[in-house]
Structure 1
Amino acid sequence: MKFSFRALTQSLIITLGASLALAGSAIAAPKTSFKVGYTIYVGFMPMGYLKDSGILKKWADKYGIEIEMMAVNDYVGSINQFIAGDLDAVGVAGMDALTMPAAGGVDTSIFLITDYSNGNDVLMSKSASSIAELKDKEVYLVEYSVSHYLLNRALVLNGMSGVGEVKTVNISDADIAAAYLANPDIQNAAAWKPMTADMISGSPDTKVLFDSAQIPGEIMDVFIGNTEVLKENPAFGKALTGAWYEALAAIKAGGETAKPVNEYMASALGTDQAGLKTQIDTTFFFYTPAEAVTFLTDAKTGTIMDDIRKFSFDRGLFGQGATNVDAIGIELADGTVLGDPANIKLRVDASYAKLGADGGL
């Protein structure tokens, strides 16, 4: 997700992770009522429509359960609630699934991928005309977020060693757009829509040096669940997945079928249909479960997860106890494990998408 600071302090992660571990048996117990949280971002907005349209209730009723869907104002706050066990699933950026709950000791599963950024995330400059010109310059961004990851990938792909070759300056997502436009000392920045649209249109000298369309699939948005909760309650994963793809099918159909979904999303995002289109145009939605299966099981996704874990470890996001990049195990959809197989804390689970693709939901 893209609308708040992406990194919890390590002490908070460890504390929450330990608390969840103590309560693990209770959380994993079979149940019939579930809570799902999401924050305001185009890739997650169909979740709100699911609730208001009755689609979510229809699918929950099919499996004899209840699902409460809630918008959470604060992105990190929503992840805190998931770590503490107050939410059974939450929408996050793929990198944050690793650096927050998984790094904090919570066995976490990516069970629904919604989209990936296909131009929403942007590295821009008022003065530089190439990535190379950023060397030793200040770049304003939300540190340890996907903007930080985007910057690192831009530098590496353009022949530099990484973020060590620039000076990153931390700034909140709430402040970056106004600061960039008002402060002439801020020449370089990385952020995401909708802030980037205002930053670019409001600063005629701004050039886009790099965006997420150049690293397709790497900045992915997903819903994560506690692995044991999903294992003990497969109906929850099935109902949420089925409801999601019903809404996505309506969007894909276009015309009158898509109209109520698009109207809801535009209103929730505080924009009009034209504004919504600009966000959707730079977001690659997985409109069908078959598309999601293909992506989640692709060898390239394993490479992406490897890049993410290496960046995260290098930035210290695994916590003080992690002595090397293999400290946390990541199980890919084919069962391959990156890192420590005895300490798997993040799992890429394509089983629900496969059920959808096979007509088994």
Structure 2
Amino acid sequence: MRVRFLAAAAVALSLCFSTPSFAQARKDFKVCWTIYAGWMPWGYAKTQGIMSKWAKKYGINVDVVQLNDYIESINQYTAGKFDGCAMTNMDALTIPATGGVDSTALIVSDYSNGNDGVLIKGTGKKVADLKGQSVNLVELSVSHYLLARALESAGMSERDIKTVNTSDADISGAFATSAVHNAVTWNPMLADLKAKPNVSEVFDSSRIPGEIMDMMVVNTKTLHDNPALGKALTGAWFEMMQTMHTASPGSDAALTSMAKASGTDLAGYKAQLSTTALFYTPQQALDFATSPNMPKIMTRVAQFSFDHGLLGKGAANAGAVGMAFDNDVVVGSKGNLKLRFDPTYVRMAAQGKL
């Protein structure tokens, strides 16, 4: 499972590529990913030759590389060592985009639909019971964002509680002690903790559908100069989605392989997928990416990021980093446009043009 941090500080790096006066097509590309239920298809697409097949169709080579550390994968992408990287919408904004790397969300592949939750010891508890309490979580992470949204739903704010920074590796152990009564975490830790006796899950990500997204993000200039990369990645991804979603021996084999690669069994992997709202068809992904809610969601994410100092010391407001959406909608600074939700290639897939 990936560690889904919102970086406390963006990587202080400039984009590490030359800027020639003409578009220069390339043949070889690398993208990276880390272990997480919604990203396992990238690994399977590589091992089964699906990625190679689509790359060959467009006359290029695409290496899909698994890394062991989520934040390090984004840092390496930001440093120019990879042409694309699987990451959340928040991390795309607060790490590469804030760090000056113009990035494009090529595929918004899913959103958390219960993978993240707020827990309180005791039965029949409510969010309001957190008032005046300490809450253990990975600070400045998706868990922190979820907690802020949970408090908001109860007419509260972070001023009403105290957060205790606890790593994802330590959250289960901490919650098992008598000193810790409240926690926010994600699967698979969430499933284990909420299954224990006398524990209430008072809020989860299904209450804020679409706000915690998973995406394949690529370098905007690289994509502009090499549309074959966008076509190959998108084609391979949706072939994987079709394989996973079609009841067949091939689907069972794929899911079993992905389960093993992620360190669980088939039942465990299916349980994780049940709270991951994957877009199994290009049209589903397109409808989500072009929804008028997308700019609204990202505006909220940007405000949270600004409030917590994640847009850099020089950020004057939540719009410091510009974001572009379908139909030429721009939120934030047009002069510092660094994150683009461009559905061009998903639209091509939906229209059968890949």
The reply to whether TM is greater than 0.5 is: yes
Residue number among 168, 188, 191 corresponding to 1:194 in the alignment: 188
Q: Does 1:176 align with 2:171?
A: yes
- What is the identity, as a one-letter code, of the residue corresponding to 2:146? L
Give me the TM-score of the superposition, normalised by structure 2.
0.96
> Is 2:106–2:341's contact at 8 Å kept on the other side of the alignment?
yes
Structure 2, unpaired ranges of 5+: none
Q: Does 1:141 align with 2:134?
A: no
Q: Alpha carbons of 1:7 and 1:298: their partners in 2 closer, same or farther (altered >3 Å)?
A: closer
Query: Residue 285 of structure 2 aligns with which residue?
Result: 292
* Corresponding residue SS for 1:15: coil
> 1:300-350 CA distances to partner (integer Å, 9 max, x unpaired)?
112111111111111110010001112111111221111111111111010
* Corresponding residue SS for 2:37: coil
> How far has the Cα of 1:24 moved from its partner?
4.3
- What is the identity, as a one-letter code, of the residue corresponding to 1:189? A
* Corresponding residue SS for 2:167: coil
Query: Residue 154 of structure 1 aligns with which residue?
Result: 150
> How far has the Cα of 1:30 moved from its partner?
2.6
Q: Give the whole-Å Cα distance in 2 for the aligned partners of 1:153 and 1:324.
A: 20
Q: Alpha carbons of 1:278 and 1:313: their partners in 2 closer, same or farther (altered >3 Å)?
A: same
> How far has the Cα of 1:9 moved from its partner?
4.5
Query: Residue 248 of structure 1 aligns with which residue?
Result: 241
Q: Give the whole-Å Cα distance in 1 for the aligned partners of 2:163 and 2:43.
A: 35
> Is 1:139–1:167's contact at 8 Å kept on the other side of the alignment?
yes
> 1:177-206 CA distances to partner (integer Å, 9 max, x unpaired)?
12212x2111111111011112122x3121
> How far has the Cα of 1:249 moved from its partner?
0.3
Percentage identity across aligned positions? 45
Q: Does 1:15 align with 2:12?
A: yes
Query: Residue 319 of structure 1 aligns with which residue?
Result: 312
Q: Does 1:274 align with 2:273?
A: no
* Corresponding residue SS for 1:270: coil
Range with bigger deviation, 213-222 or 326-335: 326-335
> How far has the Cα of 1:164 moved from its partner?
2.7
Query: Residue 84 of structure 1 aligns with which residue?
Result: 79
> Is 2:7–2:91's contact at 8 Å kept on the other side of the alignment?
no
- What is the identity, as a one-letter code, of the residue corresponding to 1:186? V
* Corresponding residue SS for 2:87: strand
Q: Alpha carbons of 1:174 and 1:306: their partners in 2 closer, same or farther (altered >3 Å)?
A: same
> How far has the Cα of 1:273 moved from its partner?
1.3
Residue number among 119, 127, 131 corresponding to 2:127 in the alignment: 131
Q: Give the whole-Å Cα distance in 1 for the aligned partners of 2:184 and 2:327.
A: 34
- Superposition pairs of residues 32-43 of structure 1, within 5 angstroms: 32-43=27-38
Q: Does 1:303 align with 2:296?
A: yes
Q: CA RMSD in A?
A: 1.5
> Is 1:5–1:172's contact at 8 Å kept on the other side of the alignment?
no
> Is 1:51–1:69's contact at 8 Å kept on the other side of the alignment?
yes
Residue number among 86, 93, 107 corresponding to 1:112 in the alignment: 107
> How far has the Cα of 1:174 moved from its partner?
1.4
> 1:36-77 CA distances to partner (integer Å, 9 max, x unpaired)?
111100000000110111111100000111111111100000
* Corresponding residue SS for 1:334: helix
Q: Give the whole-Å Cα distance in 1 for the aligned partners of 2:236 and 2:293.
A: 28
Query: Residue 164 of structure 1 aligns with which residue?
Result: 159
Q: Give the whole-Å Cα distance in 2 for the aligned partners of 1:174 and 1:137.
A: 22
Q: Give the whole-Å Cα distance in 2 for the aligned partners of 1:313 and 1:9.
A: 11
* Corresponding residue SS for 2:327: coil
> Is 2:120–2:200's contact at 8 Å kept on the other side of the alignment?
yes
Q: Give the whole-Å Cα distance in 2 for the aligned partners of 1:113 and 1:166.
A: 33
Q: Give the whole-Å Cα distance in 2 for the aligned partners of 1:334 and 1:217.
A: 20
Residue number among 225, 234, 253 corresponding to 1:232 in the alignment: 225
Q: Which has the higher helix share?
A: 1
> Is 1:4–1:172's contact at 8 Å kept on the other side of the alignment?
no
> 1:219-265 CA distances to partner (integer Å, 9 max, x unpaired)?
11001011101101110011010001001001111231311210111
Q: Alpha carbons of 1:108 and 1:24: their partners in 2 closer, same or farther (altered >3 Å)?
A: farther
Residue number among 210, 213, 218 corresponding to 1:217 in the alignment: 210
> Is 2:76–2:82's contact at 8 Å kept on the other side of the alignment?
yes
Range with bigger deviation, 336-345 or 249-258: 249-258
Give the count of matched residue pairs: 351
Instruction: Provide runs of 4+ in structure 1 moved above 3 Å.
Output: none
> 1:131-188 CA distances to partner (integer Å, 9 max, x unpaired)?
111112111111111111111111112222x32321111111111112212x211111
Q: Give the whole-Å Cα distance in 2 for the aligned partners of 1:82 and 1:295.
A: 25
* Corresponding residue SS for 2:39: coil
Structure 1, unpaired ranges of 5+: none
> Is 1:14–1:105's contact at 8 Å kept on the other side of the alignment?
no
Query: Residue 116 of structure 2 aligns with which residue?
Result: 121
